Amino acid sequence: MGFKQGLGRDERVPGLCLSSSRRLPLGPLWAFWLFGTLGIGLAVSVLSYRIAFWEAIRVAPHIGASNQPVTSVGSGASADRFGGGRSLSPAEWTGKERVNILILGIDQRDGEQGPWRTDTMIVATLDPVGLSAGMLSIPRDLWVTIPGFGEHRINTAHFLGDAYGYPGGGVALAQETVRYNLGIYTPYYVRINFTAFEKAIDLLGGIDLCVPEAINDPYYPDAHYGYEPFYIDAGCQHLDGRTALKYARTRATRGGDFDRMRRQQQVIQAVRERVLRWNMLPDLIARAPALWEMLKEGVHTNLSLEQMMALAQLAARIPEQRIRMITIDPSMTHPHTTPDGAEVLVRIPEKVREALADLFGPQTLRLEIRAVVQNGTMRTGLATRVAQSLRVLGVEIVEVANADRFDYAETWILTRPEAREAAHQLAGWLDLPLTSVREASNLTCACDVLIRLGEDFQEQ
């Protein structure tokens, strides 16, 4: 099975200016930044055990390669970055580029070695210039093209990457899948398991929230592939870590995964409220070494502490009203049953693009390439309609025309070798497989890619 190498590139760290005015202990402060700053300015949701989003959205500069070496916060290999008695000067973030980070929640159970599916996938974003932040929740059942593996649910990308030796592992394949299908580059990640979430909530003394409707889930999964029935009454109540995890994970309501994503947002908002209302930051700072020891095994990231500290200071300035939360919801998808009987969600590309442009800004999703669109079918106006949708993405359409014949069965994207990466992204936006991209160094048009539409092309 072939794999496409990750599309990241090595870059210098932009916007990071280190000050020598203070020196802070490196290891314990990681736990402080992870949980001590969760409540300042970013009321956005993360995963079913998403407490680390508060740290991730503050501390993940849009830098580096998408397939950087994995750093385990709890591994010996990471001791030099996160512990070992080192000290570090606090950093000031001066970068201008938007920050994107992929948050992964894995369905790891006690004693398991993996590979694991992702129970939840989130893209967090921060704009250092406009001082705004946001989060995109991605349904686990979204039907996508996973590069090198064909069509699958998006929650299998991490599993396949680890199971089949994709370069950079499951995290890298998850990043590439998000980039290919949604056009979002996420060079950094935070990966969290259930245990870390439970412990984090308990360390805060639990959370308070109002449950909008009673939930009865007799098939809530336990840690050993059995069942641990879950019931919670409607109304305002106090939840410990275990109950909060169940509340965030269950899908036993009419809205299924969409309701679950809304509950996850509610949990994070409750965490933020807990930290701010109870003025917990001084206590969290004092308990940083204990937090570090309790939580380090459940969190993996490729963020350095320098990057965390720099954006933590920046993110504290973001007002709550400039924080957006978006989910890929029923208005952007339609249900579909695959040939093997799997019930999945297929995205409506135009609707998803509109939502992403609203959250990330239209410039973030632009593809600065020149394209020719040709109609190789009997469908009148097909090339014109496709060209118009591509213009929204910033694609420069240099020509819309008929192909040399009208009986092409397959859609092809013919690309110059130097535009292959953009052509892959274009295929993702048009919901086409990677096999539709063909290199053609002898293109005669004044363009980077030539899109020849065939009968297999599906309009949304």
Which burial class, exposed, middle or buried, applies to 252 when counting CB atoms under 10 A from its CB (0-12, 13-18, 19+)? Answer: middle
Q: Are residues 322 and 390 in the same domain?
A: no
The confidence score (pLDDT) of residue 271 equals: 80
Tokens of 298: 């459940």
At 312, which CATH number?
A: 3.40.630.190
Confidence of residue 363 (pLDDT cuts 50, 70, 90): low
Contacts with 428 (C-beta within 8 Å, 6 or more apart), sequence order? 145, 179, 180, 181, 182, 183
Confidence of residue 217 (pLDDT cuts 50, 70, 90): very high
Confidence of residue 73 (pLDDT cuts 50, 70, 90): very low
CB 84 within 8 A of CB 25: no
Q: Are residues 322 and 386 in the same domain?
A: no
Confidence of residue 281 (pLDDT cuts 50, 70, 90): low
Q: Are residues 387 and 321 in the same domain?
A: no
pLDDT at 134 over 80: yes
Q: Are residues 325 and 374 in the same domain?
A: no
The confidence score (pLDDT) of residue 155 equals: 95
Range of lowest pLDDT (218-232, 271-285, 407-421, 433-447): 271-285
Range of lowest pLDDT (216-230, 274-288, 439-453): 274-288
Q: Are residues 325 and 372 in the same domain?
A: no
The confidence score (pLDDT) of residue 292 equals: 60
Range of lowest pLDDT (163-172, 266-275, 372-381): 266-275
Q: Are residues 209 and 113 in the same domain?
A: yes
> What is the average per-residue pLDDT within 404-410?
95
Q: Are residues 265 and 142 in the same domain?
A: yes
> What is the average per-residue pLDDT within 321-340?
90
Q: Are residues 185 and 297 in the same domain?
A: yes
Tokens of 103: 């948050």
Domain assignment present for residue 290? The answer is: yes
Closest Cα partner for 418 from 368, 346, 351, 459?
368
pLDDT at 381 over 90: yes
Helix axes 194-203, 288-295, angle to 10 degrees: 160
The confidence score (pLDDT) of residue 132 equals: 87
> Domains in the chain: how many in total?
2
Domain assignment present for residue 343? The answer is: no
The confidence score (pLDDT) of residue 26 equals: 29
SS3 state at 168: coil
Q: What are residue 146's DSSP bridge partners?
A: 150
Closest Cα partner for 170 from 160, 178, 180?
160
Cα–Cα distance between 101 and 282 in angstroms, integer?
27
> What is the average per-residue pLDDT within 384-392?
87
Confidence of residue 319 (pLDDT cuts 50, 70, 90): confident
The confidence score (pLDDT) of residue 370 equals: 92
At 374, which CATH number?
A: 3.30.70.2390
Mean pLDDT of the chain: 76
Residue corresponding to tokens 């950079």: 168
Domain assignment present for residue 341? The answer is: no
Domain assignment present for residue 45? The answer is: yes
pLDDT at 174 over 90: yes
Residue corresponding to tokens 């009321």: 43
Domain assignment present for residue 65? The answer is: yes
Confidence of residue 131 (pLDDT cuts 50, 70, 90): confident
Q: Which long-range contacts (CB under 8 A, 24 or more apart) does 358-361 make?
A: 358/324, 358/326, 359/125, 359/134, 359/136, 359/324, 359/326, 360/98, 360/100, 360/125, 360/134, 360/184, 361/98, 361/127
The confidence score (pLDDT) of residue 229 equals: 94
> What is the average per-residue pLDDT within 343-365?
83
Q: Are residues 325 and 382 in the same domain?
A: no
- Which of 36-45, 81-90, 194-203, 434-443 is modeled with the greatest confidence? 434-443
Q: Are residues 291 and 424 in the same domain?
A: no
Confidence of residue 139 (pLDDT cuts 50, 70, 90): very high
Domain assignment present for residue 361? The answer is: no
More confident residue, 68 or 447: 447
Which burial class, exposed, middle or buried, applies to 183 when counting CB atoms under 10 A from its CB (0-12, 13-18, 19+)? Answer: buried
Domain assignment present for residue 344? The answer is: no
- Domain boundary (332, 358, 380) is at 332
Closest Cα partner for 139 from 299, 335, 270, 425?
335
Q: Are residues 37 and 109 in the same domain?
A: yes
* Torsion sign, CA atoms 83, 85, 90, 91: negative
> What is the average per-residue pLDDT within 207-225?
90
> What is the average per-residue pLDDT within 326-338?
92
Q: Are residues 168 and 102 in the same domain?
A: yes
Residue 32 is given by DSSP the state I
Count of CB atoms situated within 10 Å of the CB of 410 = 15
The confidence score (pLDDT) of residue 122 equals: 86
Which burial class, exposed, middle or buried, applies to 92 when counting CB atoms under 10 A from its CB (0-12, 13-18, 19+)? Answer: middle
The confidence score (pLDDT) of residue 380 equals: 93
- Domain boundary (280, 306, 332) is at 332
SS3 state at 295: helix
Residue 34 is given by DSSP the state I
> What is the average per-residue pLDDT within 413-420?
92
Confidence of residue 280 (pLDDT cuts 50, 70, 90): low
Number of H helices, E strands in the chain: 14, 23
Confidence of residue 413 (pLDDT cuts 50, 70, 90): very high
Domain assignment present for residue 2? The answer is: no
Range of lowest pLDDT (46-60, 164-178, 444-458): 46-60
The confidence score (pLDDT) of residue 91 equals: 64
| Residue span of the structural domain in which 397 resides | 366-453
The confidence score (pLDDT) of residue 172 equals: 95
The confidence score (pLDDT) of residue 453 equals: 97
Range of lowest pLDDT (87-91, 341-345, 351-355): 87-91
What confidence tens digit (pLDDT) does each residue in 3-58 have? 433 333 223 333 444 333 333 332 323 333 333 333 322 222 222 233 333 343 34
Cα–Cα distance between 220 and 249 in angstroms, integer?
9
> What is the average per-residue pLDDT within 221-249?
91
Q: What are residue 445's DSSP bridge partners?
A: none
- Domain boundary (332, 351, 378) is at 332
